[in-house]
Amino acid sequence: MVNVVRYGTEEIEYSVTDNARLISRIRIHVNPDGRIEVEKPPQTELVDVRSAVQKRARWIVRNMQVVGDARKYSLPRHYVSGESHFYLGRRYKLIVSEAGRAASAVRLWRGRIEVALPIADPAAVRRRMKQWYRERAEAYFSRKLTELAGSFQGIGVEPGFQLLAMEKQWGSCSPAGRVSLNPALIKAPTHCVEYVIIHELCHLLEHNHSKRFYRLLDRHCPDWQERKRELDGLAEQLLVD
């Protein structure tokens, strides 16, 4: 069932689902595809949900506009000079050059990602950048995992992980306790990267999304919902290839 409230000239359509983990709080999500989802405790009446949506209408409309703008720029990459590419939440201008017989190289330099290749065709630039992103992701995630795991009791100081390209997920944790992280996450802001890593570290102790899991997540990342919303809003830009 689709519900609607008005804010000025805007119509806000939203769906409502029950979440047994919620006690009194109502959660509102503006998804990357523009859909608005509201989670409520099972005992909460729809009239109270409507009131909550109306109170946050300004915030919802603003985020709808942000999501809309982001989708406009979520275009396939061509891997040519002048494009913008992300690294740890910042936009960098791509500069491609031919290096002759010199070895290929990628570097961050004064707001640019500079790629030098013997033959700088877009397919080769794409392959070299994907390799560079993976190398950066492996080093950065390994360091962050060790750093953040230190605040958890019951987790080893160096939890194992692997890089795994995923279409819709930033991370996962297997029943055996193996953490997988999407290499594309290296393009996200650092606080969003930390949220995903903390989320998966929590799964090493709680293997489902139980109340204990969310208590653990709240303890180690109190503002995780804000970080998740930001990351969700960036997904189409960061995952586009």
Q: pLDDT of 178-207, one tens digit each?
A: 899 999 999 999 999 999 999 999 999 998
Position 1 confidence tier, pLDDT thresholds 50, 70, 90: low
Same domain? For 195 and 141 the reply is yes
What's the confidence (pLDDT) of residue 148? 92
Q: pLDDT by residue (tens digit) across 127-138?
A: 999 999 999 999
CA distances from 59 to 63, 66, 178 (A): 6, 11, 37
Q: What is the DSSP letter of 183?
A: G
Average pLDDT, the chain: 89
**Is the distance from CB of 169 to CB of 182 less than 8 angstroms?**
yes
Q: Which of 40, 72, 104 is the last residue of a domain?
A: 72
Report the Cα 37 to chain-centroid distance in Å.
Answer: 18
Same domain? For 125 and 207 the reply is yes
What's the confidence (pLDDT) of residue 102? 75
> Does a structural domain hold residue 143?
yes
In this structure, how many other beta carbons lie within 10 angstroms of the beta carbon of residue 159?
20
Q: Which of 72, 105, 133 is the last residue of a domain?
A: 72
Same domain? For 108 and 39 the reply is no
> Does a structural domain hold residue 63?
yes
Same domain? For 140 and 196 the reply is yes
Same domain? For 158 and 187 the reply is yes
User: What does the alpha-carbon distance between residue 31 and residue 222 come to, in Å, rounded to a whole number?
Assistant: 21
Q: pLDDT by residue (tens digit) across 66-106?
A: 777 666 555 678 899 999 899 999 999 999 999 877 778 99
> Does a structural domain hold residue 150?
yes
> Does a structural domain hold residue 195?
yes
Q: pLDDT by residue (tens digit) across 10-63?
A: 899 999 999 988 888 899 988 766 789 999 999 999 999 999 999 999 999 988
Q: pLDDT by residue (tens digit) across 101-120?
A: 777 899 999 899 999 999 88
> Does a structural domain hold residue 78?
no
Same domain? For 42 and 153 the reply is no
* Total structural domains within the chain: 2
> Does a structural domain hold residue 77?
no
Q: Which of 72, 104, 133 is the last residue of a domain?
A: 72
CATH number at residue 200: 3.30.2010.10
User: What does the alpha-carbon distance between residue 203 and residue 54 come to, in Å, rounded to a whole number?
Assistant: 35
Domain that holds residue 106: 84-239
| N-terminal to C-terminal alpha carbon distance within the chain | 34
> Does a structural domain hold residue 79?
no
Same domain? For 20 and 137 the reply is no
Strand order in the sheet with 27-30: 3-7, 10-18, 36-40, 27-30
CA distances from 74 to 59, 70, 114, 122, 216 (A): 23, 6, 22, 18, 34
**pLDDT higher than 60, residue 157:** no
What's the confidence (pLDDT) of residue 117? 93
Residues 16-33 as b/e (b if ≥16 CB within 10 A, e otherwise) read: beeeeebeeebbbbbebe
